[in-house]
Amino acid sequence: MLLHLTIRNFAIIDALELEFESGLTALTGETGAGKSILLGALGLVLGDRADNDSIKQDADHAEIVAEFDIQSNEAVSSWLVEQALNADDECILRRRVSKDGRSRAYINGTPVNLQLIRELGEMLIDIHGQHEHQSLMKPVVQRQLLDDYANHANLIEAVSNAFVQLKLVDEQLQHLEQASSDRNNRLDLLRFQTQELDALALEENEYEEINEQHTRLAHAEKLTTTVQQSLEDLHGGEESNIQSSLSHVISSLQNIAEVDEKLNPVVDLLVEAQVQIDEGISQLRSYGDSLELNPAELENVEQRLEVIIDLARKHRVEPETLTELHQQLSEELSDLDHADERLEELRAEYKTLEQTYSNAAKSLSNSRNKAAKKLNKAITSSMQTLGMGGGQFIIELTQNDSDKRTAHGTDKIEFTVTANSGQACKALSRVASGGELARISLAIQMITATQARIPTLIFDEVDSGVGGGIAEIVGQHLRTLGKSNQVVCITHLPQVASQAHNHMRVHKQSDKKQTTTGVDTLNKQQRIEEIARMLSGVDITQQSLAHAEEMISRAEEA
């Protein structure tokens, strides 16, 4: 959810810091106070196109920072990890717009392009009443919402799995059918290549082993000389050698250790060293015996290496991967040799998978139709209470062409609606009235609240064109929605504002030189006064104060 919003040098806002809470927050204020400016700033940090005119008149840049709590939002956390933008449980969006036309966007301090911040923004906040940010306009969101409501994840998985398998077999079929046209030429080449590699008979890891053998044989003389000299120094010298010298030292120290026991640890260490030297001498002798100067074997190894390297160069691969290439070419040759048989097998498999996909897609479509009928009825019923008597909500499900299979099935899903009796339903994206669109969105969100993917919902103009009892119902719906989502509502109606868990008031302030917008977070008494102002206008009466207090108390008790 949205925790913190900082705005600097935007429109008539000098500097503003807002803290947001969970539940329903009402944003009120006189007309022209700057409520729409706050939405504009929020839209900018969510990826809206920058406008130089929005920068405060005497400033060279505007900056907006939004901080979100994403601890319980797995989708956003996973997205940040995928984009290498994660910073524990933090999610901070920042947007800076300069007078010179430059615009910069940041996610958790990392510069990003506008598309990325827009993509993330759409997962964090949904603004209802302004088409730019309303996710419900998007077909993919409409499909997800219906599927979530239907709770048929197993059917979606079955369709997705069948689609993936069908696509894989289809690709193999196309490859084989394409290959059949130049099959003979390819067969000749493959037979020649595999015969060469068969003749080489290169074993797994042979190149690495023969390389080591070559190095050893090429340096056999140096190795032999060094080993012999080392053995001479350690053991073979008639007059002196390391082994005998060390034995003499140990014997001498053992004698005087009887005088001072502190020398015993030194003696122990030297005795241990003597054992290690004896073992080293033994291993050096064994190694020296294994060495031999063999020019003939060296020549054979060099010839074998040369053949391997030449063949690897011919195939444009590293020598270490020749055995892997040999296996690949052999498998391809086998496939082409049995291409006709394989084609028949794949065609039969494709036909079976086609039926499997069709059955799974049909089951998914049937489940969607059942869920759509329930959802249509529930949302239509909710619309009647929100000032849209006679309105209707219908989810249109049509089938895609057979060649337009998808991992999500064959259904084309579109939310349609009419706000007035007797009018034909139109696509949700074509609803003209901002107020009607916001209330329709509220009805949809109310019914599907438990399946909500976007944690923060902002409603603008939701109370446009309504009043009295309907306005109170709108407020009640928003308050109920605030129990499962963070909801911010910009409103002019006291019936809506009185239902809020939190209340902010937007106001203008002037020092004769300039006018700026400020926002106050209201306590209970200030809320009563603000709602009383909304009820009676400039002159706040005792009666309006009492009415405002009653409205707030009634909302809290409900």
In this model, does residue 65 exceed pLDDT 70? yes
Token couple for 105: 């966007």
Token couple for 357: 């996909």
Q: Count other Cβ atoms within 10 Å, centred on residue 176.
A: 18
Residue, of 292 and 157, whose pLDDT is higher: 157
Secondary structure element (H or E) that encloses residue 72, with its range: none
Q: What is the pLDDT of residue 432?
A: 56
In this model, does residue 179 exceed pLDDT 70? no
Token couple for 296: 């003939």
Token couple for 460: 């603008």
The angle at the Cα of 268, spanning 264 to 273, to the nearest 5 degrees, equals 145
How far are the Cα atoms of 274, 323, 352, 395, 406 from residue 364, in angstroms, in the given order?
A: 80, 47, 18, 15, 12
Token couple for 469: 């009892």
Q: What is the pLDDT of residue 129?
A: 65
In this model, does residue 217 exceed pLDDT 80? no
89-98 pLDDT, tens digit per residue, is 789 999 999 9
Give the residue among 376, 388, 448, 383 at the shortest CA–CA distance from 413.
Answer: 376
3-state per-residue secondary structure call for 483-549: CCCEEEEECCCHHHHCCCCEEEEEEEEECCCCEEEEEEECCHHHHHHHHHHHHHCCCCCHHHHHHHH
Which of 110-124, 269-283, 417-431 holds the top average pLDDT?
110-124
Q: What is the overall mean pLDDT for the chain?
A: 86
74-87 pLDDT, tens digit per residue, is 889 999 999 989 87
Collapse the DSSP code of 70 into the 3-class scheme (helix H, G, I; strand E, B; otherwise coil) and give the result.
Answer: coil
Q: What is the pLDDT of residue 156?
A: 94
Residues of 192-227 as b/e, b for ≥16 C-beta within 10 angstroms? ebbeebeebebeeebbeebeeebeebeebeebeeeb
Q: Are 61 and 96 in contact (CB under 8 A)?
A: yes
Q: What is the pLDDT of residue 33?
A: 67
Token couple for 32: 């022209």
pTM, full prediction = 0.64
- At 292, give phi and psi (nearest 5°): -150, 145
Rounded to the nearest angstrom, the gap between the alpha carbon of residue 152 and the centroid of all alpha carbons in its chain is 23
Q: Which residue bears the tokens 């009402």?
A: 26
Q: Which residue bears the tokens 């042979």?
A: 206
85-142 pLDDT, tens digit per residue, is 987 778 999 999 998 888 899 999 999 999 999 999 989 998 876 555 577 888 888 9
- Tell me what the mean pLDDT of segment 252-263 comes to: 83
The terminus-to-terminus CA distance of the chain in angstroms comes to: 25
Q: Which residue bears the tokens 């409501």?
A: 149
Q: Give the up-direction half-sphere exposure of residue 415: CA atoms within 13 A in the CB hemisphere.
A: 26
3-32 pLDDT, tens digit per residue, is 999 999 998 888 899 999 999 999 998 877
47's CB contacts (< 8 A; 6+ apart) are 105, 114, 115, 117, 118, 119, 121
3-state per-residue secondary structure call for 207-219: HHHHHHHHHHHHC
Q: What is the pLDDT of residue 116?
A: 93
Give the residue among 520, 518, 521 at the shortest CA–CA distance from 13.
Answer: 518
Which of 199-208, 348-357, 458-467 holds the top average pLDDT?
348-357
Q: Are 2 and 470 in contact (CB under 8 A)?
A: no
37-60 pLDDT, tens digit per residue, is 888 899 899 988 887 778 888 888
